Each structure stands twice: as structure tokens, then as C-alpha cells.
Amino acid sequence: MEVKVEIVSKERIKPSSPTPNKLRYFKLSLLDQLAPPFYVPILLFYSPSDATDITTISHKLKASLSQLLTLYYPFCGTLRDSSTVECNDEGVVFTHSTLPIDLSTILKNPHLHHINQLFPFDPYNPPRETLLETMAVQLNQFTCGGVALGVCFSHKIADGSSAASFLTAWAATSRKEDNPLIPPQMEEGALVFPPRKIEIDITRGMGP
């Protein structure tokens, strides 16, 4: 069965507060420098809810993401070279799409081709121009009212653990929990494994 995803909107979500100049340039660790040029993909499914419409869901996700990016400032920056993310508040691309099927159709018969369409791009073979992005999001709306949130994190700045921590913090921010968020220790990796001068074409993917 062929499933066509229709893009409704696409915009950049910027941090709610500008990143200080002293944090403008974020140094990657040596391990991050050597990480292959692909994205850590995470896909979250949510059942239909009569209490919340898609407009409200989208607004809450965007507002909470904007707020959270002030703490995770490299996630909305741009890769400048093999060892540096420029934290220029360029923002995270947030795509809203619709699918002409129910959520249950995907869950009962999850073809890889269909699953990949729920992400902003192919996380393992992204377009060349996308490789400078550190994060991207796609909110997918199904006919039943269910949604799927596809998030791609550049492997240069996030592994599975740090991506999961970000999503946990995002969920807490969206729910407006009372417990204050603990700022992530963004610089720890580079302190333990300092970057080296390595000539790497960061716009080249894993393909030939």
C-alpha cells in the first residue's frame, strides 16, 4: 500500500531567549568528531485524544520546544566544521504533515518505507544540505486523530541517551511540570575527550 505524506507547514522554531555570546561556539568532543554523519531517529506514537485538537498539540510542542532550546542551545545551531557547532539560534525545522490513513494501519503493518516518511528526512541517508542541521522535527497527523512525532538528532551532538534525555525534558516542559529542569552539562564531552584538528567534510553523507 502506497502512503503519501502531505506537508501542511514548515517553520523554524527558535529559542525563546537568545543564546549568550560567550556560548556562541560549542566544541564537539573527539568522539563526536568521529561520529558518522547520520541522525539519531526517535519516533513517538500517540493515540487519538478527544480532549486535545491538533492545533493545540502543535502549539504546545512548538512553545515548549522554543523554551527548552534555551538550555539545549547547540540543538538549534549549525555545524560549522568538524569540531564546532555555531550556536546562532538558527532554530529547529518543525514540519507538520498529514497522512490519509489511521494510526492503527502503521502500527499493525509497519513497513520501513512508511516509517521513514514520518521523519523530516531519511536519518541514515539525509540530503547533503541537511547535514549542517543539528536537529529536526516532524509532527504527523493521522485521520483517526492520532499523531506520530518523528525527531532526528545529529549524531554529532546526541546519542540515544542524550536524545532520550532531551525528549524527557521536552515532555516535562510541555506539561508545565513544577519541578525545575536541570540544565544539561553540554561541555562535559569536550573536556574529557578534547577535539583535535581533523579534516572531515561534514556535508558528505554515508553514501558514495
- Computed over every residue of the chain, the mean pLDDT equals 86
- The span from the CA of 156 to the CA of 66, in Å, is 21
Burial of 133 (0-12, 13-18, 19+ CB in 10 A): buried
207: helix, strand or coil: coil
Domain ranges of the chain: 6-177
60: helix, strand or coil: helix
| 3 pLDDT tier (thresholds 50, 70, 90) | confident
8-state DSSP, 23? G
Side-by-side strand order, sheet with 84-86: 25-27, 84-86, 78-81
- The span from the CA of 83 to the CA of 138, in Å, is 27
pLDDT surpasses 70 at 200: no
Instruction: Look at residue 193 in the predicted model and tell me its pLDDT.
Output: 46
Beta bridge partners of 148: 45, 140
Handedness of CA 165, 20, 120, 82 (dihedral sign): negative
pLDDT tens profile 132-179: 899 999 999 999 999 999 999 998 888 888 899 999 999 999 988 777
Domain range 6-177, CATH architecture: 2-Layer Sandwich (3.30)
pLDDT tens profile 88-127: 999 999 999 999 999 999 899 888 888 999 999 999 888 8
